Structures are given as C-alpha cells and as structure tokens.
Amino acid sequence: RVLCSFSRRLSQMNAKPKTRAQKLRDLINKYRYQYHVLNKLEISESALDSLKHELKKLEDKHPELITPDSPTQRVEGKALSRFRKVEHKVPMLSLEDAFSEEDIHAWEGRLKKILPRGMFEYFGEVKFDGLALSLVYERGVLVRGATRGNGQVGEDITPNIKTIESIPLRLEAAAFLTTNPRIEVRGEAIISKKSLLAITREQKKTGQKIYANSRNLAAGSLRQLDPKLVAKRNIEFFAYDLVTDKDIVRHSEEHEILHGLFFKTDPYAAVCKNLEDVFKFYKKVSDVRERFAYEIDGLVVALNKNDLHARAGVVGKAPRGSIAYKFAP
C-alpha cells in the first residue's frame, strides 16, 4: 500500500499541470456538490480546502490554465461601481395570494371556467422567502445571473451570484443541453435561519446594519458591490423554474431536469392529483415548517401541465395557473 501511495504521489507530481488542474477542478466540483447541494461531504472540509489551495497555486504559476468555470473564479478580484440593467427575455412574474381552502377552491373554479375541458393536475412546492434570481447558461456555462427587478428589467449581479456554492458554474454535459444550448434557470436565493442569527450577531458587534429577516438579508447581501463580502454571507440557491426554447410537458419534469443538472431543488415538492392532495400537502409542510433550516412563507401551487398553464394566461403580473398558498403568519 505504501508503494502504491508513493507511486500515486509521484505520478501526481509529474502530471502535466493542465491535467492536474483539470483533475483538481473536477474533484473540487464533486465535493462542492456533496457539501453545498447534498449536505454530506465525504472528505473533511480541510481536505477540500487543501485541494482548492493546490489549484490556486497551480493557476498562479500557470495563469493560462485558468478557465471561467474554475472554482477559483467564484470570487473575482475587484468590486463593481454599479450593476448593469438587463432585460429578461421572458418576464419574471409574481403570484397572487391565497389564504384558505376557500380561496384555493375559488381559484380552481376560475381555471375551470377558462379551461372547461382541461384535465387538472397540480404541482406543489414550498415558497421560499428569499430573492428571485435568473441564471442564464450558454452551452452549459453560467454567463449571466440577474435579479428579478421589476420583472422585465433586472440587475446583472453575475460576480455576486458566482459566489453561491450551490450554483454550478458549468453544467455537466447532459443530453438535455445538446438540444437546449441556452437555458435559463430561475430560483430563489435564501439565507438559512442559522446564518441569519450568526450574521446578525456579527453585524451587532461591529455596529453594522441589522436585517429584519432572511429575505432582506439575502437581498441586501446580493446587492453589495464587492463579491468578497457577498461570499461571506452563506447564500444558498434553490432552483424552481426552467425556461428553454423547447416545450417541456410538465412543471414536475422541469424539477427533475434541474435536479439532474445538479441544482438544489425543493425536496418536498410533489405532484398533487387534485385539491384534496394539495390540502394534504399544505398540512404536511405546515406541520414541519418550524423545523426547516430556512424561512418559507407558504406553498406555490401550479397547474402541472405547462400547456394548460400557458393557456390560462396572465392577469396583471401574475400567471393565472399558479398561486401562492400562504401560511398563517
């Protein structure tokens, strides 16, 4: 065994810098996924740090080896002076609220009038209390990350978004990407209850601004101009929407694809065959919500068939086919 490990070390030392850099990037990415998406790291944090350190040293020595998706590029050097405005190709809408079973029945009633022959099936997921983000990937590489803004125009905060470790900088080559070279992933940036407490304690100590809740903290953190400060805020990202040129039949499939592309998705999300299932789902989540590591303020319930969802249309700035089913405050 000693000989084996000696010869492995030797071959690592002799590996061409380019090969070794690629190997390190792959390893770091694998462990990043385990740690920040699955919450179960197979090696120690210090072992992961030492891999990052080795890659940094190698790239310092051979800057030509740096790739835009290298883990070392998560926190880029300089602070910005302002954020650029960017237009969303597909507007980022908002949701109408429902507070009771009656409200949900009334919503279904409205849908049935518009879609009398529709076969309804719903998709329920938790409603994260954070900040909506749009991530654009071209040929698998993260090229732009933006806030929702007013729904039509948001702010380009790409360097800040790259600091979020649960967001992949490059998507694994999946068959899905060959037919969809440009995809947009939407989801929510959140800060856990634990991090909110820790950051608040720290901010109090240093006499800095205190944020009232995790949503304000997530929003305030991502609007800082220096990515180095953003990186310290432990921001997480849950993906809930996939925008592509090709039609995807069900919203539940979007969740499956996003999970398969190694995004963090809502582990509770479920298909609900009818409103009875929706009410059961609501009860199940509201019973355990206090134990969640992060703040949620209700469910998002949507028609699962995307064609029906589109046909239901939009009222004001909200799609008729989705609704926010709020918990009692």
Residue numbers at the binding site for ligand IVH (CB under 6 A): 93-95, 125, 127-128, 132, 148, 188, 240-241, 300, 319, 322, 324
Total residues belonging to the chain: 329
Query: Which two structure tokens, joined as six digits, stand for 150?
Result: 């007013």
Least distance from C-beta 295 to ligand IVH, angstroms?
A: 10
Which residue is closest to ligand IVH by CB? Answer: 132
Least distance from C-beta 146 to ligand IVH, angstroms?
A: 13
Least distance from C-beta 139 to ligand IVH, angstroms?
A: 26
β 314-315/84-87 pair status:
unpaired
CB nearer to ligand IVH: pick between 128 and 325: 128
Angle, CA of 74, 140 and 191, to the nearest 5°: 45
Query: Measured in whole angstroms, how far is the alpha carbon of residue 268 from the centre of its chain?
Result: 15
Neighbours of 31 (CB within 10 A): 19
Q: Catalytic: 127?
A: yes
CB nearer to ligand IVH: pick between 80 and 324: 324
Choice among 23, 78, 85, 127 that is catalytic: 127
CB nearer to ligand IVH: pick between 199 and 269: 269
Smallest CA-to-CA distance from 323 within 147, 89, 110, 90 is with 110
Smallest CA-to-CA distance from 33 within 161, 174, 130, 168 is with 168
CB nearer to ligand IVH: pick between 165 and 295: 295
E strand or H helix that includes residue 183: strand 182-190
Least distance from C-beta 323 to ligand IVH, angstroms?
A: 10
Least distance from C-beta 128 to ligand IVH, angstroms?
A: 4
CB nearer to ligand IVH: pick between 28 and 258: 258
Q: Whole-angstrom Cα distance, residue 219 to residue 223?
A: 6
CB nearer to ligand IVH: pick between 177 and 300: 300
Q: Whole-angstrom Cα distance, residue 57 to residue 52?
A: 9
Least distance from C-beta 318 to ligand IVH, angstroms?
A: 6
Least distance from C-beta 133 to ligand IVH, angstroms?
A: 8
Assess contact for 190 and 36: CB atoms under 8 A. Answer: no
CB nearer to ligand IVH: pick between 24 and 258: 258
Query: Which two structure tokens, joined as six digits, stand for 202?
Result: 């720290």
Spatial strand order of the sheet with 122-128 comes to 97-98, 322-326, 296-303, 122-128, 270-272
Q: Where are the alpha helices (DSSP H) in the chain?
A: 2-14, 17-36, 45-61, 101-114, 158-161, 175-179, 193-205, 214-222, 227-231, 251-260, 275-288, 306-312
Report the catalytic residues. 127
